[in-house]
Amino acid sequence: MPRERIPLGTWTTVKAHPYTPNGTKKNGSKKWRRLTAEEQKDLKQFSEIRWRASVYYRGKNGHRQRAEAWAPSRAAAIRAVNKKLPDRVDTALNIREQKTTVEHMAMKWWTFYEKEDSARKQTKDTYKDALDRHVLPHFGGYTIQEVTTGLLTDKLRQIAEGAPSNAWFARVVLKHIFTFAVRRDAIENNPVEGTPTFKTKSEAPVAATLEQLQQVRKVIMDWQAGQTFGPARGEKLLDVLDLMLVVACRTGEALAVRAQDLQQVAPERIPFAPRYTIALSGTVISPRDGSTPYRQAHPKTKAGFRTPYIPAEMAHRLFARIKNNPANDEGLIFPTRDGRPMSPNNFRSALRRALKGSEFEGALKPYLMRKTAATEVAHEMSIEEARVLLGHTDRRTTEKFYAEHDVSVPDTSAVLGDLLKRARS
């Protein structure tokens, strides 16, 4: 009967036997003889004993091989040979990694990912939050081999009951972790691949009407006028919203503009009225860990760095604000009272307070200014002009999420009316 083949990446039981000196070799070293079963019953009769532990394994070359170690005692010999195995067993499927937990593998992955220069800090913060709040509590105790696509789907659906976005981020992090496990030969395929994406359904973009823009301004101005003592409340709201409307920027981008970003440029044609541009060169980040907001020296995307023209009236308001602003190291146009970047979260909170009790409470978000501007440019100019203004690399993003679809069509009634007449004649 042929000898049973050792599975790849495994080894046999470690065996240890005692040896005693039995003469010398030509080079003067000792020869060793293995003790018989009868001799092993009374080891004290031998003045010198050494133990040899040996084990057979199949490593990366697929061949059956032997590892051995010598030591004064049986236990020490076994420990010594076991230490040699991890270095020699390097297989197509890493047995040790298969038995590790998701939590252990996640920590290994995070150690590598945290050092990635290509990942933005806020992306790392988002992934770490999803890892701590959802991935580890739901999956951390399973071994890598125990996690299946079905298990992942069930658990992710439980997470999605709280918020689909939580499940979406948890899935992204899990995909990273199990891709890392595949690369370490712990598993052959990534079980996350077959799970639902849990993406929230995108709604058709809706722009604000002119009447709504006028009403919102009145609501905010009335709220500001209601402050009869102390510092003026919400004094940045209208300027920030109007800037977002005229350049179609994000909230963080508007709060990140600096005095040096606002420039007067040469007139293009008669009448020789001055023109103004503003460079959208950064964004304000609010860290998830609650630390101080900071200005990031680049926008959300590479295409996001842009220098749109702004109306002269808007430029004059910004110049006036720069003149009256508290001193701040970065030259921010919308700093806090102590000269630091204003958090987008705090801006949104101020807007909610201003709209509380009005018909716009809970309905108007700052990004509506961006969508409204994109829609106006797309309708009056072109979708391509809107794409460039928004800083998108793909016009499909502009069409799907920002520019409201124009349902009007050319007047074809005369042509088709004539066709109807001919059809009925």
pTM: 0.60
- Residue-averaged pLDDT of the chain: 83
Taking only the tens place, the pLDDT of each residue in 188-215 is 889 999 999 887 665 555 778 888 888 9
Phi, psi of 390 (to 5 degrees): -75, -20
pLDDT recorded at residue 425: 54
Integer CA distances (angstroms), 281 to 26, 177, 202, 238, 347, in order: 80, 33, 28, 21, 20
In the chain, the domains with their CATH numbers are 15-91 (no CATH), 98-194 (1.10.150.130), 233-402 (1.10.443.10)
Alpha-carbon distances, residue 101 vs 96, 158, 194, 198 (angstroms): 11, 21, 21, 25
**Of the candidates 234, 251, 244, 216, which has an alpha carbon nearest to the alpha carbon of residue 369?**
244
- Specify the pLDDT at position 366: 86
State pLDDT tens for residues 114-127: 887 777 788 888 89
> Which comes out higher in pLDDT, residue 187 or 422?
187
- Taking the C-alpha atoms of residue 290 and residue 209, their distance in angstroms, rounded to an integer, is 36
Q: What is the mean pLDDT of residues 235-247?
A: 88
For residue 407, the model assigns a pLDDT of 45
| Residue tagged 């092993």 (tokens) | 40
Over 80: is that where the pLDDT of 421 sits?
Answer: no
Q: Tokens 């700052």 appear where?
A: 366
pLDDT at 255 > cutoff 50: yes
Task: Render pLDDT for 210-238 as a digit per residue (tens, 0 to 9).
Answer: 888 889 889 999 888 877 666 777 788 99
Radius of gyration of the chain (CA): 35
What is the per-residue pLDDT for 369? Answer: 85
Amino acid at 70: W
The pLDDT value recorded for residue 406 is: 52
Model pLDDT, residue 107: 93
**Residue 2: C-alpha distances to residues 5, 10, 250, 367 (Å):** 9, 19, 72, 73
Residue 246 has pLDDT above 90, yes or no: no
pLDDT in tens, 35-91: 999 998 898 889 899 999 999 988 777 788 899 999 999 999 999 998 888 767 655
Three-state SS string across 312-331, please?
HHHHHHHHHHHHHCCCCCCC
pLDDT for 55: 93
The dihedral built from the CA positions of residue 359, 365, 366 and 370, taken in this order, carries a sign that is negative
Q: Does residue 370 register a pLDDT over 90? A: no
Alpha carbon distances (Å) from 241 to 216, 300, 379: 10, 19, 21
* Structure confidence by residue, pLDDT tens digits, 22-41: 988 888 889 999 999 999 88
Tens of pLDDT, residue by residue over 109-164, are 999 888 877 777 888 888 999 999 999 999 999 999 899 999 999 999 999 998 88
